[in-house]
Amino acid sequence: MKIRNNTLIEINRKDVKDGVFVAPKGIESTDISIDDDVYIQTVIFEEGLKKICDDSFARCGDLEKVVLPEGVIEIGETAFRDCRELKQINLPDSLEELGQSCFLGCDLLKEITLPEKLKEIKRATFFDCTYLHKINLGKNIKKIGTSAFFGCEKLQSIELPDSVTIIDVNAFTNCESLKKIKLSEKLSFIMSGAFCNCYGLEEIKIPESVKQIHTNAFKNCRMLSKVQFSNNIQKVYANSFDFINFKYLIKNGGEIYLSKGEDIKGEIVEINKDNADIINILISNYEVKDIILQDIKKNNVYKILYQYLYENLGKDDFNYFVKNKNLKFFKQFNFDGIAEKDVRAFIKIYFVLGGFLPPVKEIHKSKNGKVQVVTVDYAQKVGEFLLEKIKTKELLLSEMNLMFRTLKFGEFNSVFTKFFLNKENFKKLMVEESIEFGFISKCFNDFNSFQKGNTSNKGSQRQLQPTVEKFKDFFLAQHFTGINETNRRISDVIFPYFINQESFDLAVKIDRERREKNIRDSLLLEDLKEEDVFIQISKYKDQIEKLNKKILGVLIDLSNKQYTFEWLKKSDPVNFILGKLCTCCAHLQGFGYGIMKASIVHPDVQNLVIRNERGDIIAKSTLYINRDQRYGVFNNVEVNDRISDEDKKIIYAKYKKAVRMFAEQYNKENPQKPLLQINVGMNANDLEALIRKYNKRSSEILKAIDYSIYRTNNEISSGDSGLSQYIIWQKEKDKNREQTL
């Protein structure tokens, strides 16, 4: 026997007596290598073992029994894969992780109990354990992984603990003998093929917690005679059940059943070949049942319409469509002889243009600045326009899939619709479409990205009107010249906000200056990690007691909305486009170019940003630190102009938290010269009202750097903190902690 680095054990014939191998003591993590001529039936591990490494006993064809000591934390991937004779293994209470495919192909493993600390059954853990008939899952399993019990042919029943939230793809596929299963009351998703080919399954109750049942989840469950749902179900994907094998869809109060018999009382829909493939929609949207069934009886195209929109809309949006649809013009189109793929493609473009919308109210602003509310019927505009183009053969229904196959199903955008319906634009679009099918689809798919850069470069970032020529330039500027591994990230970030080569070259030059000066990435030595006030509430007890209910409510909103702050690293190319994101001029082509550049190349300047729940940056503030005089100055706070006043309150609270945490960390790192005060400039400050309400005006204007020294010939801004400043943070003089709101 050889032990190398206390990990690898090489087992030869002399280490095994009567088929039993006893592992040496004192090994915490072990990998196994077994000579080809070694016969092992039993393996016994001593105390002290914490991990069995990947593949340790894989394909050990004679192994029948494994004894593990308490203290084992992890068994690696495929550790006992294809141990065809393995019948017995104890999993100690200390075990926290079973690697994927751990017992794959262990044919004779009949029973197993999982420890309470185990949280997940990973991919293919018990794949093809054909004789496994009894398993205790414990109380804390949260996820049944992909193909976890695939092919466990003898498994007859299983009870999922209420900790399980997801049954992943093919988790119980081909469990042919499975008759009964109790699903978790916290289960949210039943993924594709989860119980496919479970021929013996007789009935199933879907808990109220389940939101979605994916494709083929209960496919080929031949004995399934009753399925019970709740009204909470949001989406039952096509082919999730063999609907045609059931006879009735029944609603009784808050419960919905699929049934082969008439033993359930309630409102009944008889299932037949004409409506079987629409039943999955009715289950999730039973309140619109009558509308759907009535429409598909009138026109077979409506069945395609409902199926297609159901596949692409959430429950609420689908219900809204069914109840508020406008088919007045859609029903005038003649789809006779048109392939279903072309019908679906037409439905897609018709939908995104607003062809199904009821009249909507919009706020229009005239040239003289007068605002009025106008009712617009986009269904009429779109319907009449497309009917005319099809009549004149400028559009062909038979070419819809060629044109719109790549069109992404998205939300209605009135700006794009107006652009598309403009006759001159349409002519130009069709010219481009004749050169290459899919040009219109590209315009729609990339419309939001295109519009980001389709703005003026002034501080107001006024949105400009889209044109076909601008789209062509946008698509041509797929990349800049001179891209390499060092600057590729810059190219990816600034496009599409800036598509000219000059902007790219300028950004590369600034980044090169940062690297040549060896500028540190952050004002702090250690990355600042955000804390949750509500997790560590005791730390902030004194401060919270001082808060009035209004501000405490703001903090609660902040927690709910999951806004986060980030001190953006100087090497992050997002610094080049912050002005575009936050509706200000601090970007590559703006008057605030100097502020943008200083945040990248000046060692004492850095950007603070606030992100929304989607991760989009919606606010920024640029901080300068005077290390010798021990103060800091934020230029101002810039917020995207689409942010509401209510959300600005949340941004303000998050901004205050970010400043406080920065000051605390900075003073820990610089105890000899800690910061005494941080001010914020009030010129063009989007949080001005909130800052004035909750902070004191600074009697002294703290001097920031002159940002204009970084300007080019056209940019003139020297900063916004020179006229008026408020104190955003101040170190308390008589205490060892910083002052916070």
DSSP conformation class of 94: T
Query: What integer pLDDT is reported at residue 367 of this predicted model?
Result: 66
User: Does residue 301 belong to any structural domain of this protein?
Assistant: no
Mean pLDDT of 191-212: 93
| Residue where a domain stops, chosen among 106, 137, 163 | 106
HSE (side-chain half, CA atoms, 13 Å) at 509: 10
Residue 555 shares a structural domain with residue 600: yes
Whether residue 327 contacts residue 321, with contact meaning beta carbons closer than 8 Å, is answered with no
- pLDDT > 80? residue 127: yes
| 305: nearest Cα among 357, 358, 348 | 348
Query: What integer pLDDT is reported at residue 559 of this predicted model?
Result: 47
Q: DSSP readout, 315-366? A: HHHHHHHHHH---TTGGGS--TT--HHHHHHHHHHHHHTTTTPPPEEEEEE-
pLDDT tens sequence across 448-492 = 878 776 666 666 556 678 888 888 777 766 567 888 878 888 887
| 738: nearest Cα among 571, 543, 578 | 543
Element (H, E) at 638: strand 638-639
Going from the C-alpha of 259 to that of each of 178, 198, 241, 443, the distances in angstroms are 19, 18, 12, 47
User: Does residue 49 belong to any structural domain of this protein?
Assistant: yes
Cα–Cα dist 731/338, whole Å: 74
Query: What integer pLDDT is reported at residue 463 of this predicted model?
Result: 63
Q: How many residues are listed for the chain in this entry?
A: 741
Total domain count, the chain: 4
Positive or negative, the Cα torsion across 489, 493, 496, 500? negative
pLDDT tens sequence across 266-277 = 889 989 888 888
Query: What integer pLDDT is reported at residue 460 of this predicted model?
Result: 56
User: Does residue 130 belong to any structural domain of this protein?
Assistant: yes
- pLDDT > 80? residue 496: no
**CATH classification of the domain holding 593:** 3.40.630.30
| Residue where a domain stops, chosen among 241, 273, 302 | 241
Cα–Cα dist 304/300, whole Å: 7
Mean pLDDT of 686-701: 92
Whether residue 197 contacts residue 174, with contact meaning beta carbons closer than 8 Å, is answered with yes
Going from the C-alpha of 427 to that of each of 389, 394, 442, 443, 592, the distances in angstroms are 11, 9, 16, 14, 40
Query: What integer pLDDT is reported at residue 473 of this predicted model?
Result: 76
User: Hey, what amino acid is at 647?
Assistant: D
Residue 570 shares a structural domain with residue 631: yes
Non-local (6+) Cβ contacts of 660 within 8 A are 729, 738, 740
pLDDT tens sequence across 549-607 = 444 444 444 444 578 999 999 999 999 999 888 988 889 888 888 999 999 999 999 99
Strand residues in 94-253 grouped as ranges (E): 97-98, 111-113, 120-121, 134-136, 143-144, 157-159, 166-167, 180-182, 189-190, 203-205, 212-213, 226-230, 235-236, 248-252
pLDDT tens sequence across 266-314 = 889 989 888 888 888 888 888 898 899 888 888 889 999 999 999 888 8
Residue 548 shares a structural domain with residue 470: no
pLDDT tens sequence across 235-257 = 888 789 999 899 999 998 889 99
Higher pLDDT, 483 or 125: 125
Q: DSSP readout, 167-183? A: E-TTTTTT-TT--EEEP
Strand residues in 54-208 grouped as ranges (E): 65-67, 74-75, 88-89, 97-98, 111-113, 120-121, 134-136, 143-144, 157-159, 166-167, 180-182, 189-190, 203-205
Residue 224 shares a structural domain with residue 333: no
Residue 572 shares a structural domain with residue 721: yes
pLDDT tens sequence across 130-151 = 999 999 998 999 999 999 999 9
Query: What integer pLDDT is reported at residue 580 of this predicted model?
Result: 86
To the nearest whole number, what is the mean pLDDT of the chain? 86
Q: DSSP readout, 366-389? A: -TTS-EEEEEE-HHHHHHHHHHHH
DSSP conformation class of 45: P
Query: What integer pLDDT is reported at residue 534 of this predicted model?
Result: 39
Cα–Cα dist 229/210, whole Å: 9
Look up tokens 């209470």; give the residue. 93
Whether residue 65 contacts residue 88, with contact meaning beta carbons closer than 8 Å, is answered with yes
Q: For residue 16, give both structure tokens.
A: 């095994």
User: Does residue 247 belong to any structural domain of this protein?
Assistant: no
Residue 102 shares a structural domain with residue 220: no
Flag the least confident range among 176-190, 400-414, 444-458, 637-651: 444-458
HSE (side-chain half, CA atoms, 13 Å) at 119: 2
- pLDDT > 60? residue 541: no
Look up tokens 């989607």; give the residue. 614
Residue 578 shares a structural domain with residue 659: yes
User: Hey, what amino acid is at 305?
Assistant: L
| Residue where a domain stops, chosen among 187, 217, 241 | 241
Residue 597 shares a structural domain with residue 698: yes
User: Hey, what amino acid is at 687?
Assistant: L
User: Does residue 263 belong to any structural domain of this protein?
Assistant: no
Residue 567 shares a structural domain with residue 453: no
Residue 117 shares a structural domain with residue 204: yes
Query: What integer pLDDT is reported at residue 634 of this predicted model?
Result: 96
Non-local (6+) Cβ contacts of 350 within 8 A are 330, 356, 382, 386
Whether residue 193 contacts residue 169, with contact meaning beta carbons closer than 8 Å, is answered with yes
Phi then psi dihedrals of residue 561, to 5 deg: -80, -15
DSSP conformation class of 208: T
Q: For residue 488, give both structure tokens.
A: 């590729």
Query: What integer pLDDT is reported at residue 532 of this predicted model?
Result: 42
Phi then psi dihedrals of residue 492, to 5 deg: -65, -35
pLDDT tens sequence across 56-76 = 899 898 999 999 999 999 999
Cα–Cα dist 462/447, whole Å: 16
Angle between helices 414-421 and 423-435 (to 10 degrees): 80
Query: What integer pLDDT is reported at residue 533 of this predicted model?
Result: 40
**CATH classification of the domain holding 162:** 3.80.10.10
Query: What integer pLDDT is reported at residue 382 of this predicted model?
Result: 95
- pLDDT > 70? residue 264: yes
HSE (side-chain half, CA atoms, 13 Å) at 636: 26
Residue 148 shares a structural domain with residue 63: no
Per the structure, the complete domain to which residue 174 belongs is given by: 110-241
- pLDDT > 90? residue 512: yes
Confidence of residue 2 (pLDDT cuts 50, 70, 90): very low
| 663: nearest Cα among 595, 567, 551 | 567
Over pLDDT 70: what percentage of the chain? 90
Query: What integer pLDDT is reported at residue 539 of this predicted model?
Result: 43
Mean pLDDT of 326-345: 92
Non-local (6+) Cβ contacts of 693 within 8 A are none
User: Does residue 490 belong to any structural domain of this protein?
Assistant: no
User: Does residue 517 belong to any structural domain of this protein?
Assistant: no
Going from the C-alpha of 632 to that of each of 10, 384, 439, 647, 736, the distances in angstroms are 63, 61, 51, 26, 19
User: Does residue 424 belong to any structural domain of this protein?
Assistant: yes
Residue 619 shares a structural domain with residue 696: yes
Radius of gyration of the chain measured on its C-alpha atoms: 33
* Three-class SS state of 690: helix
Higher pLDDT, 537 or 187: 187
Confidence of residue 369 (pLDDT cuts 50, 70, 90): low
Query: What integer pLDDT is reported at residue 479 of this predicted model?
Result: 62
